[in-house]
Amino acid sequence: MKTPLYFISDIHLKLRTSSEEKSRRESLFRLLDQIRKTGGTCFFVGDLFDFYFEYPHLIPKAYTDFYQKAAEMKKDGVELHMLLGNHDYWVQEFLTDELMDHVYFNDTTFEVNGKKFYISHGDGLLSWDHGYRLLKKVIRSPLFIWLFRWIHPTIAYKIANAISRSGRHDTHSENFNEDVRIEIQDVAKKHFDHGFDFMICGHYHLGEMFDVNGGKLAILGDWFNLPSYAVFDGINLKLHFWEHNA
């Protein structure tokens, strides 16, 4: 991968383009244009889309402006990598072979400039999240995907809009968030004990970075309340925040 490496998570591009959604995208695209100028690699760490289900001959048209922006970035030499999240796992050839340079269906690891990275969207990491881990196995199974693909796209996207809670007020208490911090740091410690230098994840929308056992853990923020991104400049990993009017 080319440096600098940019890591962004939980953008949740919506199927409905409201004025608020338009503002969010304009803010995101300003950051992506900045990345185009510096070059390197842009790594989406899951939930780039609020819902993405690709059919053999159909893709969601609501994301056309992002498809165009991604094409511009690639034309300028920026590498695009994407780890699939719990909202946008169901991809096919358009996203894997055309839109992105590389797509990861599960947690991934790599080494750049002698630094070892562990990348995870983060869903299912919590020790008490037994129900979600079972649900994750079901909805990612080939049988579920095959059956869902028989639903007409119009109906499928209406279902997705109806059940999505992305962008609504975060009801998690500070006690819950503190439990998440403790749990994810325990996970990171295990990776750092095995020689990793950095762990990056999303899903929990915290926008925080921790020094853990000589390594750095970045839990990225979402792009509704706390837009953030991490940058590896070839030596260090730092967390940055992005204002909507930047």
- Return the closest-CA partner of residue 66 out of 13, 12, 118: 13
* pLDDT of the residue at 225: 85
pLDDT bracket for residue 244 (50, 70, 90)? low
* pLDDT of the residue at 243: 77
pTM of the model: 0.92
How much is the CA Rg of the chain, to the nearest whole Å? 17
Q: What is residue 38's DSSP assignment?
A: H
* pLDDT of the residue at 166: 66
- Return the closest-CA partner of residue 230 out of 25, 50, 4: 4
Asked if the model's pLDDT at residue 245 lies above 60, the reply is no
CATH architecture of 5-241: 4-Layer Sandwich (3.60)
Domains of the chain, by residue range, sit at 5-241
- Return the closest-CA partner of residue 223 out of 35, 6, 48: 48
Rounded to whole angstroms, what are the CA distances from 46 to 12, 50, 175? 9, 10, 25
Per-residue H/E/C for 91-125:
CCHHHHHHHCCEEECCCEEEEECCEEEEEECCCCC
| pLDDT tens digit sequence for 88-138 | 889 999 999 999 999 999 999 999 999 999 999 988 888 888 888 898 889
* pLDDT of the residue at 28: 96
d(CA 200, CA 44): 11
| pLDDT tens digit sequence for 12-65 | 999 888 899 999 999 999 999 999 999 999 999 999 999 999 998 899 999 999
More confident residue, 160 or 201: 201
Residues 186/210, Cβ–Cβ less than 8 Å: no
d(CA 241, CA 204): 16
d(CA 184, CA 201): 9
